[in-house]
Structure 1
Amino acid sequence: MDTPRSRRSTWRSAALAALLTAGALTAVAPGARAQGARTETPVTTTAPADGVVESVVRVKVPLPASFGARPAACDWLSYLRYRSSAGPAASADADRILVAQPGILEGAGAFDSVARNTVARAAEQGSHIEFWALDRRSNCLEDRTGIASGDQHTAVDYYYRGKQVAGRTFDGYVGNGRLGWMAKLGIEQTVRDQYDLLTGELPDRSVRKDKVLCGGHSLGGVITGYFATADFDGNPATTADAGQNQCAGYFALDTTVSTSLADLSGSIPDDTDLPDVGLGYGAVQAGLDSGLFPRSLSAPVLLNPETMTLLAIAGLGAVDDLGGEADLPRYLPANVNIEATNRFMFSKDTATFVSGTPAVKDFRLTNAAVLGSLMDDNSVPLAFLQSSVGFFDGGPIADKNFPAANGSDAQPGLFGTEYKAIPDRPHGPLYTWRDYDRVGDLDDPGYRSADGTPFTAAGKEVTDIRELARSLAEQPLDFTEQYFPTKLVTDIELATSPQVKRLVVHPDGISANPTLTVLAGDGLLAGRAPADLHPVIADGYQHLDVLTAAPVQNNGLPEPVSTNLARFARSPE
């Protein structure tokens, strides 16, 4: 009998087997020359039946020898391939192929819902398209073994207690001293990787020009801008290799296709360890080369490899037993990083943050409530991490006035626009989670802030927490990017330097093809989108919702991001 538990067991076994198989296939020597090596492995998931087939594709594209020593896996490029089960098996025969670059600190797994929804929506309209969610090369450093076990306790033991899974022991989080090769992993290599992947997978340029739509989310829009203006053969007079001629059109998800970070205000937290670009390109590059500057972007709480792993672990608990009482806050080991993150995420005011009491482990929470507290726009105080997945339920709720007070001038921008909330009874009732499609129901308590402002409403909730959990926990390529290359951001921040400016060879490439811009109504560009873009606005959406929203919304209508992507794929204009 096929039950949710049996499906989860099948997924766990398949995920771990696929991970181990991929590891064996990609054991190549650094600097080895590519000889057409390619693997494609089906992905088994508990996603609802939607007629979409998913696989993980890995293609061997070695870095230049000048990058120096790096793990063997980093000479491979990876992406998640989504296609219609009723469509052609060969990508070149698809009606259209959408190729998506992730945002800052984001991996291919973050596109799971929008990719599935878009492919399924297009199939309903008689079009068989593909969606390729790219993983940047730096994701090669991530170890998914613990997550692929499918068990939350096993994952915690693997990543934090040194216990083996499938005969492997976690090698630890990679420190700056082992990231020397990433000092050169900037915008030039990133767009080159996309070009090499496209030309390798679709060698006929006419297919690329007629069928490929290039785009991305957040920073992915800026990367697409650089791709569109790039020249890949070193001769500007020959334009068949130009980025603009690899795409039939562009798409931007809560971003713009440009070569500037100006439209992404609030996407990089103030407390990250970025070097001061005022030093100039040469000084910044010297600092990265020497290791004086961190080669991977991180911050003291949440935004570092150790704590980003917690998102996938929380997802595991929700996939396994959404409404069950969570023990994750008490099962996690105590260390400075995890404690600081827990305090930042689960303190209702400054006094609570300083004292550490009450702590998250003092509350009774379901697995869904734990995940919601880490990802929902009414809880997490970082705008670029927010999605609209519902609201707390089951007991009294208070204003979360840390790190910014509700209604204060500090709320927009970095912290987002929504009032923040937090459970208010430690050692009390079991706090549950009201999913997006139950907000506003007759049994909804309609929680309000102390000033009378409703925390949320049905029109503000768009993402299914079950599907968010699945995207975090089940994908063979991570939802997050644990080792984001510092150089990728500093290059773009230094766009006027000669070293970066030379990469924009064909500046008209940005406007050479039709563009679809879809913005989150409450996202990073809310209220300040350039008028000439004529964007589609997804009302009530936060920055991540353009990737994670459910296929049917609370108004009964199809999800607008995937609907417009499917329309654009059918006829770019």
Structure 2
Amino acid sequence: MLLTAGALTATTAGARADDTRTETPVVTSAPADGVTESMVRVKVPLPASFGTRPAACDWLSYLRYRSSAGPDASADADRILLAQPGILEGAGAFDSVARNTVARAAEQGSHIEFWALDRRSNCLEDRTGVASGDQFTAVDYYYRGKQVAGRTFDGYVGNGRLGWMAKLGIEQTVRDEYDLLAAELPDQALRKQKVLCGGHSLGGVITGYFAAADFDGDPRTTKDAGHNQCAGYFALDTTVSTSLADLSGSIPDDTNLPDIGLGYGAVQAGLDSGVLPRSLSAPVLLNPETMTLLAIAGMGAVRDVDAEAGLPDHLPQNLNVQATNRFLFSEDTATFLSGSPAVKDFRLTNGAVLGALMDDQSVPLAFLQSSVGFFDGGPVVDKSFPVANGSQAQPGLFGTEYKAIPDRPHGPLYTWRNYDRVGDADDPGYRSADGTPFTSAGKEVSDIRELARSLAEQPLDFTEQYFPTKLVTDIQLSTSPQVKRLVVHPGGLTANPTLTVLAGDGLLAGRVPADLNPVVADGYQHLDVLTAAPVQNNGRPEPVSTNLARFARTPR
């Protein structure tokens, strides 16, 4: 990619023919809420310097949510919220907050849109198995080589086939956002009036770089400047900045992220040569093979959340999947090492399987946690692996909530008590060995059925299987000349009004300066700002979407 010092330069998206944009309706089991969803794809080819890549990777995609009673054309909407995903996160993760925000605004007479962006690297994902609607068919497709709809899975993409991603860093990411906006809303004055730019987690940092960027190669002209594409900014459990400092814990310790002590030139040379991994992953859980299991688990809960799950017995017996299961479903270190009892030794409903994978009282990684309820149907005990309950070891990585696990293999059917049934009269009120309640109604905010739908029914993934390593290394090397020169208009970060919404129990809890006037969603975890149900256990409307809708309504 050719660059002019101090500017982001590339071919701007120009006039489009009929074969350069598609929009496809998305049909889901979401309750009628007055929201229309579609998947939009826009052809925006990468520069030739990126080299060989799949044809699908010359397209940008997003999920478009709009008021069913509002205008068909985006340019006629009252506001458009443009959301960048966090690390290892895809457009599907925004499903609940997008629907809730559009619906809240419509209730108050405002017809807005919410665009959930997918990063370009998600072009490598194959949703064929998930789209079948049957989780056992999906397992056979992704892990056993069986065909679905006449197609055979090509396998997960290895580092050797990701050479084009060696250049897919912060520069191209913000350029993609600009080119998409320019293609969909060609009138810059309209963008400045109607578009609100933001994101979740790492998406707040990407928004910061976008706000400070220059896109025409001439810093003296500012119509193209990032901050002049937005009427305001929103940050969901993040801040609009150009630093990763606020997001401690959002990147797991055991990923293959290279040593940044190498310096920008050495890191780039490693990515170009393939010596360094071009896609971020970890030995268990956080890699394409295992993250696919989240969508498959969601499929079972969508079909019948209360039915006994057959998925654990149907999973492949390879080392990667089995190690992940041990990591997520071991009571203590001895169980993890021995592999017994294993998850397949417990009777679990589809809801309990998904809850075990995603709930903050089960999964031990803070950035993957949501508050969707609790186990039910049988006795539970403290889960002391990888850290003991009450420990303050790496709270940014593991979280601070007490973890629990079923205690009777080959015993009762463990069910899942959804968020809105925690604290009911029939709730057993499970407690830790030290007497601490594992959870309470005020700590549960997300509906497990909605989470399942977001994982299993979206045409663009909830998770991100191929996250570009360069996107993180660029930001971690923000003081290097190669990255510093991208911040052309530093005043752009504060040039527009900003709404900052924090998860009360999330990664940034208590760490954001008060002068940002953040809205705090009590009891929320990092993912809950995206997945929370429209009505909370206190009977009040969900606060993240309520504040986003209010922010979108406020005259800019």
TM-score normalised over the length of structure 1: 0.94
User: 1:306 matched to which residue of 2?
Assistant: 289
Residues 405, 411 of structure 1: 8 Å contact kept: no
1:241 match: secondary structure: coil
Is the contact made by 2:14 and 2:183 (CA closer than 8 Å) also made in structure 1?
no
- 1:389 paired with 2:369, answer no
Note if 1:196 corresponds to 2:184: no
Q: Distance in 2 between matches of 1:572 and 1:397?
A: 51
Structure 2 distance, partners of 1:297, 1:449, is 35
Partner of 1:504: 487
3-state SS in 1 of match to 2:470:
helix
What is the one-letter code of the residue matched to 1:48?
Answer: P
For the 8 Å contact 1:34–1:61, the answer to whether it is kept is no
Correspondent of 2:503 among 520, 523, 546? 520
- Match in the other structure for 1:432: 415
The equivalent of 1:269 in structure 2 is: 252
1:489 maps to what in 2?
Answer: 472
Candidates 221, 227, 234, aligned match of 1:244: 227
Q: Which moved more, 1:523-532 or 1:264-273?
A: 523-532
SS in structure 1 of the partner of residue 375 of structure 2? strand
Pairwise CA distance, 1:409: 2.1
Q: Which residue of 2 aligns with 1:226?
A: 209
1:316 is matched with which residue? Answer: 299
Question: Alpha-carbon deviations, 1:171-216, whole Å to 9, x = none?
Answer: 0000000000000000000000000000000001111000000000
**Aligned ranges for residues 90-489 of structure 1 at < 5 Å?**
90-410=73-393, 412-489=395-472
Quote how far apart the aligned CAs of 1:33 are: 9.8
1:510 to partner: Cα distance? 0.3
Q: Give the partner amino acid of 1:367.
A: N
SS in 2 for 1:414: helix
- Of 531, 534, 550, the residue aligned with 1:548 is 531
* Distance in 1, Cα, partners of 2:15 & 2:227: 26
Tell me, which stretches of 5 or more residues in structure 2 are unaligned? 1-12
Which shows bigger deviation, 35-44 or 511-520?
35-44
Q: Is the 8 A contact 2:392 2:400 kept in 1?
A: no
* Whole-angstrom CA distance in 1 between matches of 2:332 and 2:509: 27
Q: Which residue of 2 aligns with 1:561?
A: 544
1:87 aligns with 2:70: yes
SS in 2 for 1:431: strand
The verdict on how the C-alpha distance between 1:44 and 1:68 changes in structure 2, with shifts beyond 3 A counting, is: same
Question: Aligned equivalents of 2:167 and 2:542: distance in 1?
Answer: 39
Identical aligned pairs, as a percentage?
87
Match of 1:16?
none
CA distance in 2, matches of 1:236, 1:411: 42
The Cα shift of 1:411 comes to 5.6
1:234-273 alpha-carbon deviations (Å, 9 max, x no partner): 0000000000000000000000000000000000000000
Q: Do the aligned residues in 2 keep the contact of 1:381 with 1:416 (CA within 8 Å)?
A: yes
| Counterpart-to-counterpart distance in 1, 2:350 and 2:161 | 35
TM-score normalised to structure 2 length: 0.97
CA distance in 1, matches of 2:118, 2:198: 13
Which residue identity lines up with residue 206 of structure 1 in the other structure? A
Q: Aligned with 1:164: secondary structure?
A: coil
What is the SS of the residue equivalent to 2:395?
coil
Instruction: Tell me if structure 2 keeps the 8 A contact 1:216–1:224.
Output: yes
- Which secondary structure does the structure 1 equivalent of 2:398 belong to? coil
Q: Is the 8 A contact 1:118 1:566 kept in 2?
A: yes
Cα contact 2:445–2:528 (8 A) shared by 1: yes
Give the structure 2 partner of residue 59 of structure 1. Answer: 42
Amino acid at match of 1:366: T
Asked whether the 8 Å contact 2:82–2:117 carries over to 1, the reply is yes
* d(CA) in 1 for partners of 2:511, 2:95: 28
